[in-house]
Amino acid sequence: MTGSSPGGLLAVHAHPDDETLATGALLATWADAGLPVTVVTCTRGELGEVIGPALAHLEGDGPALAAHRERELAAALEALGVTDHLFLDAAAPATGRSAEPCVASGVRFTDSGMAWAGVTHAGRRENLPDGAFVAVPLDDAAGRLARVLRDRRPAVVVTYEPGGGYGHPDHVRAHEVTARAVALAADTDWAPEAGPSHAVAAVLWAVRGEQSLRAAYRELAANPRLVASDLRARFPAPDGPVPSVAVPDGEVGLTVDVRPVLARLAAALFAHATQVKGVTIVWSDRDAPGAPNDVIGSYALSNDIVAPVLGVEEYRLAPGSSGDGVVWPAGMRRVA
């Protein structure tokens, strides 16, 4: 390890499955180091599409799908080694009145849904459901998260980059809520009833180096061994548009070696059966390590586009976040 002081990790995600798809190796690596890990999920994924005929009856039935995805999430978190989880709407709001106890309000934040606005970008749908996360006032959602930050006091917070990975409105809102919550938690004048202020040492954004991602797309198309033989899915175009998660390679500031926690990550991917299909892992600990960005597996979502599992997860340090003093567990490396 490097750095001078240990601390916990807190991840903020929009829906069940995002914790695994975007940050699974990071969560498992932190947990395996014996450090505290908290996952906060903003909605229960009520409007998600459902993969496969066995569970197709859940699509369109928000409460039933939410209950099922909660169980999938619990199984995935267990696989990753995460024991501390809460939904954001279960966190108490900040009242601003230190003399009164503050309890959860009983509101429910729901999946806002999305509409594809291009091959790699999603936007808002025209009609939002009741309780849509994107319609929750920013300071309500951020105040709840800030209370969690003051309670858990993590050294590191991780969420999406500003574009939400691929533009999903709930992902974008989760980014905005996280940024606001980090500022509120550190403000000594804000909500004294929420506990002592807490400044996070590092905020990470889940990203992918653009050239590394394009190389992975080419490798997927060229090597059938990397893809499940029965998976009927399209390959992403190596020279086509890329989602907002792709950033210039020089902006990647930290990497996580996926291979030591690959079994955990694979189990978590399998747990999200309504959302993830065709999970294929081709690397084992008997194989030579190879290059860090080698494709070591693949999967697909309901959009039927093959996605690579790479040998590393990549993160960008948010502007103004140095990470100084953070103890990065073995398997994590600063690259910028």
Please provide residue 150's backbone torsions phi and psi, each rounded to the nearest 5 degrees.
-70, -30
pLDDT tens across 94-129, in order?
Answer: 765 443 444 456 789 999 998 877 778 888 888 899
Q: How many domains does the chain have?
A: 2
Arithmetic mean of pLDDT over the chain:
91
Instruction: Say which residues have a Cβ less than 8 Å from residue 242's Cβ, sequence separation at least 6.
Output: 120, 210, 213, 214
Residue 2 lies in a domain: no
Which run of H or E residues covers position 313? strand 312-317
**Which ranges in 5-137 belong to alpha helices (H)?**
18-32, 62-80
pLDDT tens across 84-95, in order?
Answer: 999 999 999 876
Within 10 angstroms of residue 173's Cβ, the number of other Cβ atoms is: 24
What average pLDDT does this structure show over 159-165?
97
Do residues 270 and 196 share a domain?
no
What average pLDDT does this structure show over 150-173?
97
Do residues 93 and 219 share a domain?
no
What average pLDDT does this structure show over 39-45?
98
Determine the structural domain holding residue 237 and report its residue range.
210-242+258-312
Instruction: Give the CA count within 13 Å in the CB-facing half-sphere of 64.
Output: 10
Residue 267 lies in a domain: yes
318: domain CATH number is 3.40.50.10320
Residue 124 lies in a domain: yes
Within 10 angstroms of residue 158's Cβ, the number of other Cβ atoms is: 26
Do residues 199 and 222 share a domain?
no
Do residues 234 and 142 share a domain?
no
Q: Tokens for 128? A: 């939002």
Say whether 236 sits in a helix, a strand or coil: coil
The partner residues of 317 in beta bridges, in order of sequence, read 204
Within 10 angstroms of residue 59's Cβ, the number of other Cβ atoms is: 16
**Which ranges in the chain belong to alpha helices (H)?**
18-32, 62-80, 138-152, 169-186, 210-222, 262-271
Residue 20 lies in a domain: yes
Do residues 70 and 167 share a domain?
yes
Q: 269 versus 291: which is more confidently predicted?
A: 269
Do residues 56 and 175 share a domain?
yes
Is it the case that residue 220 has pLDDT exceeding 90? yes
Residue 83 lies in a domain: yes
User: What is the per-residue pLDDT for 327?
Assistant: 87
Residue 336 lies in a domain: no
Is it the case that residue 336 has pLDDT exceeding 80? no
Do residues 277 and 324 share a domain?
no
Query: What is the crossing angle of helices 138-152 and 169-186, to 10°?
Result: 60
User: What is the per-residue pLDDT for 99?
Assistant: 36
The partner residues of 298 in beta bridges, in order of sequence, read 280, 308
Is it the case that residue 300 has pLDDT exceeding 70? yes
User: What is the per-residue pLDDT for 287?
Assistant: 62
Do residues 279 and 321 share a domain?
no
Do residues 176 and 138 share a domain?
yes
Give me the numbers of helices (H) and strands (E) for the chain, helices first please.
6, 14
Q: DSSP 3-state helix, strand, coil percentages of the chain (rounded to 5)? A: 35, 20, 45
* Amino acid letter for position 318: A
Do residues 44 and 16 share a domain?
yes
pLDDT tens across 46-55, in order?
Answer: 999 999 999 9
What average pLDDT does this structure show over 192-197?
94
Residue 251 lies in a domain: no
pLDDT tens across 243-287, in order?
Answer: 999 999 999 999 999 999 999 999 999 999 999 999 999 987 666
Do residues 236 and 275 share a domain?
yes
User: What is the per-residue pLDDT for 213?
Assistant: 96
Residue 252 lies in a domain: no
Do residues 262 and 149 share a domain?
no
